Amino acid sequence: MIENQSDNVDDKENDVSIQADTPENEKSSGDQIAENDELSSQKSEEINTEELKNSISNNDARLEQLEKEHETLKNQYVRISADFDNFRKRQSRDQDDLKIQLVSKSLTAILPIVDNFERARQQLKPESEEAQALHRSYQGLYKQLVEVLKQQGVAPMRVVGQPFDPNLHEAVLREPSEEFGEDFILEELQRGYHLEGKVLRHALVKVSMGPGKQNSQEEVEKDKVEEDTASEENNSEDV
């Protein structure tokens, strides 16, 4: 009986000892878990921070690349736009030149008819009433033709008394003149025409050699006559 009680006391003491030791073990285990959680949290934060830095770095690199691509595309667009604008202007200019060439070719074929009208007007001198009526009809047709040419942008050149310009005139004859200086136009042999500021047909003209040329020729002939006279006198003296 006494032994049983002693055993019971020992068992109680062991239980008390186990119960006393359990909270400490549980506390120690809880702290360890907390520390592990804290370490995991720190590592997770470090990983997240590193990933964020890498992501920012990648985004910056990508942004820089996109900016370069944007600048390249912008330059290409500006260049293509400039090329297209130049192409459009060149096409418009070529079309205008082609139009002028076609009109010039057609009008150049008509100009000899105008020349014939001009010559006929200068030569005709109507005397009878019937001839005068015919002349008036002719003048009406001539004016209509001139008006059509004017509407197409054709304008006659005024050349007499103007300095000779090879870009506008074609010299057919040259002769001395007391009225005009050298390289001035004396007479218009065939009328020249402009078309929209460009030469449609060059004017055929007679150009002045100036008064000095004539005087020089006269002096040469005078000197020659004097030499011939002196030679004859010498010959007569020798005889």
DSSP 119-144: HHHHH----SHHHHHHHHHHHHHHHH
Least confident of 45-54, 109-118, 179-188: 45-54
Q: Are residues 202 and 169 in contact, defined by beta-carbon separation less than 8 angstroms? A: yes
Percent of the chain having pLDDT more than 70? 69
Both tokens of residue 27? Answer: 């506390």
Strands (E) across 157-209 are located at 169-175, 185-190, 193-195, 198-201, 203-208
What separation in angstroms does the CA of 158 have from each of 60, 99, 118, 178, 218? 75, 26, 15, 21, 33
Report whether 158 contacts 185 (CB < 8 A). Answer: no
Residue 205: the pLDDT is 94
The pLDDT tens digits of the residues spanning 151-193 come to 988 999 999 989 999 999 999 999 998 888 888 999 999 999 9
Q: What is the pLDDT of residues 57-94, one digit of tens each?
A: 888 888 888 888 888 998 999 999 999 999 999 988 88
- CATH code assigned to 156-239: 2.30.22.10
Return the exposure string of 146-173: e unless at least 16 CB atoms fall within 10 Å of the residue's CB, then b. eeebeeeebebbebeebebeeebbeeee
CB 104 within 8 A of CB 96: no
Largest CA-CA distance found in the chain, in angstroms, rounded:
208
3-state secondary structure of 189: strand
Q: Is 191 exposed, middle or buried (0-12, 13-18, 19+ CB in 10 A)?
A: middle
What is the tens place of the pLDDT at every residue in 203-224? 999 999 988 544 444 554 555 5
Determine contact, residues 143/114, Cβ cutoff 8 Å.
Answer: no
Instruction: Provide the residue type at 103 as one letter.
Output: V
